[in-house]
Amino acid sequence: MPPYTETLTRLVETNGQESAGTLASTVYDRLRGDILSGSLPPGEKLRTEALRTRYEVGNSPIREALNRLSADGLVTREDQKGFRVASASLADLEELLKTRCWLEEIALRESITNGDADWEERLVLAFHRLSRVRRSSSEDHYSVNPQWEDLHRAFHLSLLSACGSRWLLQYCAQLNDQADRYRQLAIIVSYPKRNELTEHEAMTKAATDRNVDEAVSLLLAHYERTARIIRETISEFEES
């Protein structure tokens, strides 16, 4: 397998189901999912004992998973004081948004410039798959659909996957994860008003048309829009 496809595959497989040859990796995946979905909210203390019963494994796998997540920035660690879910704030959101725009603009420009036919096909495929899955797993109210989340992640990474730098791609993936935590806060409010499908479709078209500037501005607008919704949501919560 060519290196980029491999890297992409690894990044895309949030491995809810397939990977994980060890308990530590399984716990890592589950913990990661629970943090991204908001099931473990920002700032939450992560006690070993509690996690041991929650995931039904011993001490070591829990600890390994937490250490990896702390290097990923999803969990904070303080010597002798244990772990907690990384905190979240409006200021952090702004910083995150800014950084994402910087990095993804580069990645997208490079990706469109260098992307070959393979990349184009991966992108179209990723969009198709995403368009086939419902945003929410329930009809009337919103509830996280892990399948959509995975495909959404895969779509955005596909866009950037031909950027030519595994480092950059990994960083974009990491920032994506961070943003997902915030997105879960806002989704309940905005659902189902926003038509994300159209936005994704437009991006796919601009990218496969090799229209760099158009694609970049669509992507950045996409993120700005998401951030605005999140900002408004959080403000409302803080007011009440």
Partner DNA sequence: CAATCAAATAATTTCGATATTTAATTAACA
Partner DNA sequence: TGTTAATTAAATATCGAAATTATTTGATTG
* Residues near a copy of itself, by CB under 8 A: 19-22, 24-25, 60, 63-64, 67-73, 79-80, 95-96, 98-99, 102-103, 106, 164-168, 170-171, 175
141 near DNA, rule: CB under 7 A: no
Residue with tokens 């892990």: 146
5 near DNA, rule: CB under 7 A: no
What residue 127 binds from a copy of itself, DNA, none (CB within 5 to 8 A, per partner kind)? none
Instruction: State in angstroms the smallest separation of the CB of 91 from a copy of itself.
Output: 9
Tell how many helices (H) and how many strands (E) occur in the chain: 10, 3
At residue 45, φ and ψ (nearest 5 deg) are -70, 140
Q: How far is CA 97 from the centre of its chain?
A: 13
Q: In what order do the strands lie in the sheet with 82-85?
A: 45-46, 82-85, 75-78
Instruction: State in angstroms the smallest separation of the CB of 28 from DNA.
Output: 10
Instruction: State in angstroms the smallest separation of the CB of 220 from a copy of itself.
Output: 14
What residue 45 binds from a copy of itself, DNA, none (CB within 5 to 8 A, per partner kind)? DNA
Q: How far is CA 55 from the centre of its chain?
A: 23
Instruction: State in angstroms the smallest separation of the CB of 70 from DNA.
Output: 10
Q: Name the 3-class secondary structure at 210.
A: coil
Residue 232: how many CB atoms within 10 A of its CB?
13
Mind giving me the DSSP string for 146-174? HHHHHHHHHHHHHHHTTSS-HHHHHHHHH
What residue 207 binds from a copy of itself, DNA, none (CB within 5 to 8 A, per partner kind)? none
Closer residue to DNA in complex, CB, 64/120: 64
Residue ranges binding DNA (CB under 7 A): 21-24, 45-49, 57-61, 63-64, 77-83
